[in-house]
Chains A and B, each alone.
Chain A
Amino acid sequence: MRWLTVLVLTLITACSQTPTPSLYQQLGGDAGISAITDGLLYEIEHDNRIVHHFADTDIERFRRLLAEQLCEISGGPCTYTGGSMAESHTGFNITLADYDALVGHLIKVMQQQHISISAQNQLLALLAPMYKDISYR
Chain B
Amino acid sequence: MKITLFTLTAGLVFSCSCAANSKIIATGGTSSIEGSAGGGIVPWAVINGYASSGEMAATAFISRVGVDDFTLNSVGASLAYDNNWEWSVARQRFALDSIGGELSQNIIAVKYRLAGQLLYTALPQISLGVQYKKLHDFTLPQAVGARDDSGLDVYLAASKVLFNQVAGRNLLLNATLRATKANQTGLLGFGSADNNNYRLMFEGSAALLLNYNVAIGVEFKQKPDQLAFADEQHWRDVFVAWFVNKHLSVTAGYVDLGSIAGLNNQQGYYLSVEGAW
Contact = CB atoms under 8 A, between A and B. Distances in A.
A and B assemble together: yes
Contacts of A96: 52-53, 83, 117, 120
Contacts of B170: 121, 124
* Central interface residue in A49, A97, A116, by most chain B CB within 10 Å: A97
A107 B20 contact: no
Given A49-B20, A100-B23, A132 B121 contact: yes
Q: Interface majority SS on B: helix, strand, loop or mixed?
A: loop
Nearest to A134: B120
Interface residues of B, number: 22
Contacts of A100: 22-24, 52
* Central interface residue in A96, A107, A131, by most chain B CB within 10 Å: A96
B54 A95 contact: yes
Given A97-B55, A100-B52, A104-B22, A131 B121 contact: yes
Given A49-B22, A95-B53, A107 B212 contact: yes
Contacts of B119: 103, 124, 128, 131
Contacts of B212: 107, 111
Interface residues of A, number: 24
Interface in A121-137: 121-122, 124-125, 128-129, 131-132, 135
Interface in B107-140: 117, 119-122
Interface in B208-242: 211-212
Interface of B: 20, 22-24, 52-55, 83, 117, 119-122, 163-164, 167-170, 211-212
